Structure 1
């Protein structure tokens, strides 16, 4: 995973997911259909990559909120990821400051999710 910032979409995987999701929406798919397509396309990453797997759900939760259609299962998984610290390993390796900044971003996402 290549990261260049602390934001939800500031890494290669999340950026790719956003691009794919936006393309599905432009093609006329619903948010639910776009989500299903992303989950299918990124299934291997979800199952096998401890760093990027959580990113898929965090990105989907943010994208669904942007479209005003947050699905309960995506919300629940994203909140569990934030609470458990899944995917933090790369941030821990980057240093305490980087980890703290990422935690701030995820806390903001958590607050947004809880308001939905």
Structure 2
């Protein structure tokens, strides 16, 4: 796995989780079905240090369009509040990671929107690269609007 920054999606696994979740929702899966499939695929059934990228990324991805799986936000907040999360970072990066987690925690404490549609991540990525926009029909709550520091 590659990590290039302290943001919630600044590593390969988190980005992959976001894309795969969008694809599963666009294919008609429920948030709980998509979550179960991702948990199995990533081996993230338990919350341990190896899952500290998975759960916050999944919670951030689910919260914005309102497709929230059972227990996902709670697991993410458990990780955000765990001192071990910051201890795994270099001191110079821990401050920026703390800020990203604080921003995410604040967002996750807000009530999620009513579920809205998600287009497949591949279509979103093609459009973003071509037109520098995140969606051809942007609307508040669209999963294409997920943007975390």
Residue 71 of structure 1: how far off its partner (Å)? 4.0
Question: Which one has the bigger helix percentage?
Answer: 1
Q: Corresponding residue for 2:27? A: 27
Structure with the larger RCO, 1 or 2 (CA within 8 Å, 6+ apart):
2
Match of 1:80 among 78, 81, 99: 78
Question: How do 1:3-82 and structure 2 match up within 5 A?
Answer: 3-43=3-43, 45=44, 47=46, 50=49, 52-71=50-69, 73-82=71-80
Two-structure CA RMSD over aligned residues (Å): 2.1
In structure 2, the CA distance between the partners of 1:29 and 1:106, relative to structure 1 (3 Å rule), is: same
69-78 or 14-23: which moved more?
69-78
Count of aligned pairs between the two proteins:
111
**Structure number with bigger Rg:** 2
- How far apart, in 2, do the equivalents of 1:16 and 1:72 lie? 20
- How far apart, in 2, do the equivalents of 1:49 and 1:112 lie? 22
Residue 115 of structure 1: how far off its partner (Å)? 1.8
Q: Corresponding residue for 1:102? A: 97
Residue 47 of structure 1: how far off its partner (Å)? 4.6
In structure 2, the CA distance between the partners of 1:48 and 1:75, relative to structure 1 (3 Å rule), is: closer
Query: Can you give the 5+ residue segments of structure 2 that lack an aligned partner in the other structure?
Result: 112-149
Residue 8 of structure 1: how far off its partner (Å)? 0.9
In structure 2, the CA distance between the partners of 1:13 and 1:46, relative to structure 1 (3 Å rule), is: farther
Query: Can you give the 5+ residue segments of structure 1 that lack an aligned partner in the other structure?
Result: none
